[in-house]
Amino acid sequence: MLKTLTVWNFALLEHVQVEFGEGLNILTGETGAGKSILIDALGAILGQRVSSDAIRTGCEWLRVEAVFTLDDESLGLHELLSGQAIDDSEGLLIITRQVTKGGRSMVLVNGCHVTLTILKQIGAFLVDIHGQNENLALLKEESQFALLDDTL
């Protein structure tokens, strides 16, 4: 479960920390409040591409950090982390991603450097983001067939 998301120098945000509670968490606000920036920052933690253009004007780097609590049901994630020599014995996963103006990116998972490929694999276990109007894809015949084929 995502506990905190901390963002430095990402787009318009200088420094923001959001804490999440148990159960459903919803980001609401008026247009321009920064909801999409927070979702993009979370995407960076999950391994999505981040351009150096996302760095706040006048800054040299951006950083995003997320803290997740792990439950005992995260067996596949535990195996993936073990395979990368990442200790998750305390039930916490701290992911930090930093991008510099020069385009260099660094990813740490519980203090260990990992590649974006590994970060994407880890991210697949942690968060499932659904955007506005995504449910409309269910009306497409191709989507229905794909869902049925996946269950067979």
Q: How many domains does the chain have?
A: 1
Distance CA 25, CA 129 (A): 12
Distance CA 142, CA 123 (A): 26
pLDDT at 150: 73
Q: pTM to 2 decimals?
A: 0.83
Of the chain, the percentage scoring pLDDT greater than 90 comes to: 64
Q: Which domain holds residue 140?
A: 2-151
Q: Which tens digit of pLDDT belongs to each residue from 106-150?
A: 999 999 999 999 999 999 888 876 666 666 667 778 777 777 777
CATH number, residue 33: 3.40.50.300
Q: Which of 72, 107, 118, 111 is nearest to 91 (CA)?
A: 72
Q: Which tens digit of pLDDT belongs to each residue from 64-101?
A: 999 999 987 677 899 999 999 999 989 999 999 999 99
